[in-house]
Amino acid sequence: MRLRDWQKECADHAMQRFELSSHYFCQATPAAGKTILAAEIASRLLGKQNVDLVVCFAPSCQVVNAVQRTFEKVLGRSFDGRIGAAGVAVTYQSLDHQGASFWRLFDQYRVFAVFDEIHHCSAGSDALIPNSWGQRVVQEIQDRATYTLALSGTPWRSDEQAIALARYSDPDGRLMVDYQYSMLRAVSEQVCRRPEITLVDHDLVRLVESGSEEQKYSSLRHLLRHTDVTYEALVTHER
């Protein structure tokens, strides 16, 4: 399978990084091909006999199925967790229901653990936090897997909790990643389409700025074209 330029860059960098550290965090814009990247890194680690098994975690059954198909295609081996398979893909939700035999894998074998959309996992210790299975990631896997790869297209949480396996700068608390593939580069390389924000059930946009009269615009495109308002300001605005 021919890799995109960014996938090859990231895979090369991850393999170099793994000589010094067991963890790698890649932030790549949605639809850029993160699963193929993960499968490529897994193929290299297996090929070098650096790991015995690959275990992937994903936020839904649909994503798990897609991960399984991609890994089987790239690795040329089954990826269903049965005898002879290269590994298995499971949901984050299943972490709280795995038996002792599953957790023994991380002690008996050299495991490459891949976490798709890791922002679903909070690093907080409060059991009431939604998607708090991030605690199991930290407690059961972080220091037991031989290598870990965290992937995210949108590396933040609406509840502002820290993300499991993520590093943050001090004191400003900015997420630190090992590799970033931005939307700007993805669009310029025609990997992704330019994003469009569509207004639903509205026929008028009102802009009120301090000390100015209310301005009206017929669409978001009209607003962005004739003001200094940015896409980021639109998607993060409370209203």
33 vs 95, which has greater pLDDT?
Answer: 33
- The rounded radius of gyration (Å) of the Cα atoms in the chain is 21
pLDDT digits (tens, 9 = 90+) for 142-151: 889 999 999 9
Most confident of 14-18, 92-96, 97-101: 14-18
Q: How many domains does the chain have?
A: 2
Residue 40 lies in a domain: yes
Question: Which amino acid is located at 154 in the chain?
Answer: T
Q: What are the backbone angles phi and psi of residue 36, rounded to the nearest 5°? A: -65, -40
- CATH number assigned to the domain comprising residue 177: 3.40.50.300
Question: 216 and 112 share a domain?
Answer: no
The pTM score is: 0.81
Q: For residue 174, what pLDDT is reported? A: 82
Domain extent, residue 182, equals: 5-188
Closest C-alpha among 111, 115, 109, 104 to residue 45: 111
Question: 86 and 143 share a domain?
Answer: yes
23 vs 211, which has greater pLDDT?
Answer: 23
Looking at the chain, the whole-number percentage of residues with pLDDT higher than 90 is 52
Q: Across residues 42-46, what is the average pLDDT?
A: 98
Place of tokens 């798709």: 116
Question: 229 and 152 share a domain?
Answer: no
Residue 197 lies in a domain: no
